[in-house]
Structure 1
């Protein structure tokens, strides 16, 4: 069996070698010609998996080790009996930690108390649910907007979009969709951007395209935190220069998330190939516990990982893709022993 794997997939050699011969390329370099004799394809987000890529190849299993699905033509895979599995949720905790880190730094720099602020969470799935839990642990009042969940669960725990957009801090965690009952393309756009004021803090760690960037760059806010952009890596430089944090789509790039993305696909590939499960793979991440003795939230989180370094890394935007592919090791909060009681545990 031959496997083509994006060379940015974490631990590909240790995790997937037992399945057969491995060939690696960068995600953007994987093409139809390179797949002609491959049985398995394992990608991240930079490979568009569709008819153009797969027609005439031997590929029967596609695994995507990231949370998003915008790069996958699921209909084509289904119609052609190609098994598809994804790692949705693998980076949810990492993204939630990024957002809390941003908010804690904003609270320090703008001198406000977290307990005085409302947080509008738009999209309460894998990421939004974890963020809601962490924010409440810190005393932040959350306003949850998720129409698909509301239709199933009722209105009790949810607010409408306009109410969420009127929060002090607005953060987006919806998938990017263009059709259906609740499309999210330009979810914040010309029809409702007036709800964003000069006192609003706006955060996008979801997908580029959920917020109309042409309007966003013209709208005065208290602060913007932007990790996901339209037209990556050719991002909006006006938004970048005015943002509090402008980072290169790395909110979910913790070591834990990358491992979990690979591990989730590994388990599903074992099932597909009827191969026995290697329990040792579960323990590939085992860093030494580090103690941090700072007394405040923002100092504690900045010592765990300073996202300001990620902002500086792409001041020259030509480094956007290179930095993503060569991202520094970043471990999630559960690996640290801290004096300040950070909300690393989840209710999920």
Structure 2
């Protein structure tokens, strides 16, 4: 049953994952890893039984409406589902799954690296010797950054990744604060020694670093817009490894250009892979650390994601409920 299923994979996956898919399914793979055009994606959805997209594939209601009658499962390779119109898919009887949990630790690791890098000016420092910049030698007042211990970290979104970041932050002496739709379980809050803020505005005004870990939904689009960003202290930093659209980039750029906040570290951007040229100029000035969406980019994470996709597909084909099914109540 599983071998006859027509599975279309939109991007190149780790070799071991693709080999397993060939064994189990009639898998059509993307050998050159070229992002599909909209027309190519539409064509795939007309003929496939199962689509395996990634964050680079925008699957909106129009594409779903044009999908062929055989498409019954969209098995997303990734945790975030903001690039898929899940409501439209469910309305057409198409099941949607994702791969939660497997990228938590890797994303938290990179987030912590960015939290360390900005106050200590690591991105500026690593360029000085390789780029042949002027280095006067050690000086008591040269390249001074900020101590991390004792600072206030505000976590926006206390899910799996937010909690993993909080655990790491406590080890570095940061005081953990968080804003969520509701408080986490008391035992989790106590283990992290974390302070819950019902008001995001009040938390932003008090923290030294804000790290974003909420999903991209209509409710979180530009959640950090100009008004809220202006609540941050002048020596505060913004860290974003979630989704670019959660932050109003124009507003954040304005604050950085006028030194209204100390800096930002970004792994995600609005409209990526297109990057606003103003970010590059700010990076050259040491105001921002820019990363090319590397939060979950480890071999282990990608293989684990692929294995979850395969489990979801096989469970679906066996007419059981996939373990990572996205429900309407989750939207």
- Normalising by structure 1, we get a TM-score of 0.71
1:95 to 104, 107, 113: 107
Pairing of 1:124-143 with structure 2 (within 5 A): 124-143=158-177
Q: Which residue of 2 aligns with 1:73?
A: 85
Structure 2 distance, partners of 1:77, 1:190, is 34
Other structure's SS at 2:223 match: coil
Q: Which residue of 2 aligns with 1:246?
A: 290
Pairing of 1:122-201 with structure 2 (within 5 A): 122-146=156-180, 148-150=181-183, 157-159=195-197, 160-165=199-204, 166-178=206-218, 183-201=219-237
**Higher relative CO (CA 8 A, sep ≥ 6), structure 1 or 2?**
2
Q: Which residue of 2 aligns with 1:266?
A: 310
| Cα distance, 1:157 vs structure 2 | 4.1
- Is the alpha carbon distance of 1:108 and 1:190 closer, same or farther for their aligned partners in structure 2, counting shifts above 3 Å? closer
Q: Is the 8 A contact 2:79 2:99 kept in 1?
A: yes
Q: Which residue of 1 aligns with 2:277?
A: 237
Q: Is the 8 A contact 1:203 1:224 kept in 2?
A: yes
- Is the alpha carbon distance of 1:6 and 1:163 closer, same or farther for their aligned partners in structure 2, counting shifts above 3 Å? same
- Is the alpha carbon distance of 1:56 and 1:176 closer, same or farther for their aligned partners in structure 2, counting shifts above 3 Å? closer
1:210 to 243, 246, 252: 246
Gaps of 5+ in 2: 122-143, 320-331
- Residues 111-166 of structure 1 show CA distances to partners (whole Å, capped at 9, x for unaligned) of 433222111111111211110111112221111111x2339879994113123313
Gaps of 5+ in 1: 276-348
Q: Is the 8 A contact 2:267 2:292 kept in 1?
A: yes
Structure 2 distance, partners of 1:66, 1:28, is 17
Other structure's SS at 2:81 match: coil
Other structure's SS at 1:203 match: strand
Structure 1 distance, partners of 2:120, 2:252, is 24
Q: CA RMSD in A?
A: 2.4
- Residues 30-50 of structure 1 show CA distances to partners (whole Å, capped at 9, x for unaligned) of 422233332111111111224
Other structure's SS at 1:142 match: strand
Other structure's SS at 2:271 match: coil
